[in-house]
Chains A and B, each alone.
Chain A
């Protein structure tokens, strides 16, 4: 995580392992499977964040996961003053429902919601009203790690979202190369890259040589600035 920050990452998103990660493509699905086989729980992740915070109190951290996990550990989220976690992104809760209905709200933690190419104007309004932190715009019809970005559609939808909210809109799903990031950074306030990094982490798990990831992140950083 410190390497990410050193390489120009502004916000770190951590996936919370779940048995049925229905929004994920094969790369991140396998990462969920690997983590579950090693019994990685939400508690372990919170402990990891607390350790990270010993030397970094600045970089925002977002937990991305599925509702059942957070409900099962609601006490962990709700009763903590300072977990070091800045926001939750619960993939499978409809944006018009509120996390406090499920006992997982915390005034110190922002609620990030997804808006997709198929979200109606009416829902964009409801979702932006319930969101804080930033809006996560899903670039494509598909799961994480897919291809085929339709730039015209993305640009049109992000400018639509901006009519309803002043919080930043970040674009994610399907971003693989620095040139993808460069184009998207023109219309979004930031870009979110997941599958490519997860794939590189898996490839480097034996050697522990993460220099390629560092290089890749620096390239992305240069491309969007």
Chain B
């Protein structure tokens, strides 16, 4: 166990990482969200509502499936797949949006916004907003809108408005900037559902908790194998999947946690999606928590 990792979230910092690096106008909304979450997270009625939605709306717990042929292919160990792809809307993203929409409901917010890259988080946000009949706006880079037209179609079918963002590189980071502009303007009635662990505190904590629910991880593993797994492998993009998968095991010294980033043309070429392998630490509102994952991966 890496001793410098402190699981304290008292002020939203994880060692030197974490924090809230956003314009002043948003600080009030982050404080409001943190207060709401802290008052609800251990409330039995809230927990019951969340798990009821996870089982009846999302279809959790997702199966843990023994991949026989993949195991044979690699010729060692036993490979089990945690089938988050079988959740409603087809990804782990729905776990977090189901939880956050409950927070929005408790806060009395009538308008939902979210940013999305590949579109999965957009679909998951539009889905939970439609279920409660809330107005929903999804911000997406114009380039991503073009590349992910099927998800754009699904988001629109669910009644949400898709805003194609042209500025900068017209991808996820620009969509995030536009979503923040919307939030800062409509802060009184709008809930912003962030889907990765890269936002300002308390979002990373909330996304982590909703993605690492009790049906995920160690309890399940103990039940099936009477032991913990030797290793947990998760892909890392914005970190929500990896954080959810790793978090239940973070105190287990004997479980290796392996994060995998997309190497593209190769890390050395610069043409990749692997900022943790080839990037520099920063304190913008979009990168800090990834470093937390990195600390977990290198232990």
B168 A33 Cβ-Cβ under 8 A: yes
A108 at the B interface (CB under 8 A): no
CB of B167 within 8 Å of the partner chain = yes
Is B5 an interface position by the 8 A CB rule?
no
Q: Contact string, A24-68, partner B, CB cutoff 8 A, digits 1/0?
A: 011001100100000000000000000000000000000000111
Q: Are B282 and A68 in contact (CB under 8 A)?
A: yes
Closest to A113 in B: B24
The residue in A19, A23, A113 that gathers the most chain B C-beta atoms within 10 A of its C-beta is A23
CB distance from B291 to the nearest CB of A (A): 13
Interface residues of B in 73-120 (CB under 8 A from A): none
Contact of A118 among B20, B29, B177, B180 (CB under 8 A): B29
Q: What's the minimum C-beta distance from B74 to chain A, rounded to whole angstroms?
A: 40
Q: Quick check: which of B143-151, B181-189, B230-238 contacts chain A, the rest being far away?
A: B181-189
Q: List the B residue with the shortest CB-CB distance to A18.
A: B284
- B21 near A141 with CB under 8 A, answer no
Q: Which of B253-299 contact A (CB under 8 A)?
A: 282-286
Q: What class of interface size applies to chain B in its complex with A?
A: 20 to 34
Cross-chain contact B21 with A93 (CB below 8 angstroms): yes
Check B28–A120 contact: CB distance below 8 A: yes
Query: Assuming the A-B contacts A20-B173, A22-B177, A33-B167, are A119 and B24 also in contact, with contact meaning beta carbons closer than 8 angstroms in the complex?
Result: yes
Residues on the A chain within 8 Å of B286, using CB:
20
Give the complex CA separation of A63 and B285 in angstroms: 20
Chain B residues whose CB sits within 8 angstroms of the CB of A114 once the complex forms: 23-24
B22 and chain A: residue at smallest CB distance? A92
For the complex of A and B, 7 pairs with smallest distance between CB atoms: A118-B28, A116-B25, A142-B185, A114-B24, A23-B23, A116-B24, A92-B21
Whether A16 is near chain B, meaning CB under 8 Å from some CB there, is: no
Contact of A94 among B21, B173, B282, B284 (CB under 8 A): B21
With contact pairs A20-B173, A20-B284, A118-B29 given, residues A29 and B167 touching in the complex (Cβ less than 8 Å) = yes
User: How would residues 5 to 27 of chain B score, 1 for a CB under 8 Å from any chain A CB and 0 otherwise?
Assistant: 00000000000000111111111
- In the complex, how many angstroms separate the beta carbon of B29 from the nearest chain A beta carbon? 7
- Roughly how many angstroms separate A64 CA and B117 CA in the complex, as a whole number? 29
- Among A97, A120, A141, residue most surrounded by chain B Cβ atoms (within 10 Å): A141
Could you list some 24 contacts between A and B, CB below 8 A?
Answer: A20-B176, A20-B284, A22-B177, A25-B181, A29-B167, A29-B177, A93-B21, A94-B19, A95-B24, A102-B283, A114-B24, A116-B23, A116-B24, A116-B27, A116-B28, A117-B25, A118-B27, A118-B29, A118-B187, A120-B28, A138-B24, A141-B185, A142-B25, A142-B185
**Using a CB-CB cutoff of 8 Å, which residues 135-159 of chain A contact chain B?**
138, 141-143, 146
Task: Confirm or deny: A222 has a beta carbon within 8 angstroms of a beta carbon on chain B.
Answer: no
Which B residues from 145 to 185 make CB contacts under 8 A with A? 167-168, 173, 176-177, 180-181, 184-185
Residues of A within 8 A of B283 (CB): 67-68, 71, 102
Contacting residues, chain A, for B31 (C-beta < 8 A): 120
Task: Give chain A residues whose Cβ lies under 8 Å from the Cβ of B29.
Answer: 118
Contact of A22 among B180, B187, B188, B282 (CB under 8 A): B180
Q: Is the CB of A143 within 8 A of B185?
A: yes
Q: Is B181 touching A22 in the complex (CB atoms < 8 A)? A: yes
Cα of A118 to Cα of B186 in the assembled complex, Å? 12
Cα-based distance from A118 to B176 in the complex (angstroms): 21
Q: Are B184 and A23 in contact (CB under 8 A)?
A: yes
A91: Cβ under 8 A from any B Cβ: yes
Closest to B286 in A: A20
Residues of A within 8 A of B184 (CB): 23, 141-143
> In the complex, A63 Cα to B275 Cα: how many Å?
29
Closest B residue to A141 using CB positions: B187
Contacts of B284 in A (CB 8 A): 20, 66-68, 92
- Residues of chain A lying within 8 A (CB to CB) of residue B285: 22, 92
Contact B282 A71 (CB under 8 A): yes
Closest partner residue, chain B, to A137 (CB atom): B24
Q: Which of A89-118 contact B (CB under 8 A)?
A: 91-95, 97, 102, 113-118
